[in-house]
Amino acid sequence: MTGFLRGSATAMITPFCEDGINFASFEKMLEYQIENGTDALVVLGTTGEPATMSETEKESLIRFAVEKVAHRAKVIIGTGGNNTAKAVAASVRAEELGADGVLAVTPYYNKCTQAGIVEYYRAICAAVKIPVIAYNVPGRTGVNILPETMAAIAEIPNIAGIKEASGNMAQVVETARLIRGKCDLYSGEDTLNLPILAVGGVAVISVVSNIAPKDVKALTDAVLARKLYAANKIADKLFPLVKACFLEVNPIPVKEGMQALGFEAGAPRSPLTRLEEAHCARLYAAMREYGFEVKA
């Protein structure tokens, strides 16, 4: 299927506090995104640290996001995992709780075959009616959705597209060629948002848009409107901030960045740690250069 998502989506951080999730802060973050034109909010993606959350916390966060967003943007829930049955159950729960779609990362650690990847997505799609986005991020999972494999996955009726974060543009171009007209291509890597959109991507699922949602939306809109000169100007402005947001593993820097903007982002959960002091200085410098008032 095509047309489910177009524009900018933000991979939302989850603000934690001593009692669990800081829902008051999360609501402010949701409003910040909506006010700045973000088209979709991805909750419980990698950036949201779901691996460190209880099932009760996850359900509470989904309920809260769906209620507070109230159809002003799409709500997409991260549901993938290395246990197909558990990923299916998570996807069913997301649908039952009102999600507009799900984002299912490839099975990680198990290192299944390409045939196994296809069957994994078949199982998830068979269990729900809402759109399913495949997520390819081999640097984290150890599993790569090859272009020919994605072509097979694209034949599944409710596959909406693929979030591509392989970092391999040659592979992205081939994937785009093979799935064109069947499902959509989304950028899942902020450093490659512009080129992935330029080869046929229709949306970005961005980390840096936690901090700079307005400009990520503007970049996406400019490319989709075929205004590449304007898009390049926005991308040039964004790039130093993007680099600063990946000085350490995601979401460590972006959580620190949101804290510096004045949001109560909280610390990442163990085994992740707070951003190192030297990296904080570089992140704050990039934010100030961008034009943000840094409260740190």
- CATH assignment at residue 15: 3.20.20.70
Catalytic residues: 135, 163
Residue 240 lies in a domain: no
pTM, full prediction: 0.96
Residue 295 has a pLDDT of 80
Residue 106 lies in a domain: yes
Mean pLDDT of the chain: 97
Residue 174 lies in a domain: yes
- 254, 208 contact by CB (below 8 A): yes
Q: How many structural domains does the chain have? A: 1
Residue 58 lies in a domain: yes
Residue 136 lies in a domain: yes
Residue 167 lies in a domain: yes
Residue 281 has a pLDDT of 97
**CB-based contacts of 211: which residues, under 8 Å, 6+ apart?**
241, 245, 254, 257, 258, 261, 287, 292
Backbone phi, then psi, for 159, in 5-degree steps? -80, 115
Residue 6 has a pLDDT of 97
pLDDT greater than 90 at residue 145: yes
Q: How far apart are the first and last CA of the chain?
A: 45
Residue 128 lies in a domain: yes
Residue 75 lies in a domain: yes
Residue 131 has a pLDDT of 98
Residue-range definition of the domain harbouring residue 38: 7-225
Angle in degrees, CA 191, 194, 198, rounded to 5: 140
pLDDT greater than 90 at residue 280: yes
Q: Which of 165, 87, 97 is nearest to 122 (CA)?
A: 87
pLDDT tens-digit profile of 37-95? 999 999 999 999 999 999 999 999 999 999 999 999 999 999 999 999 999 999 999 99
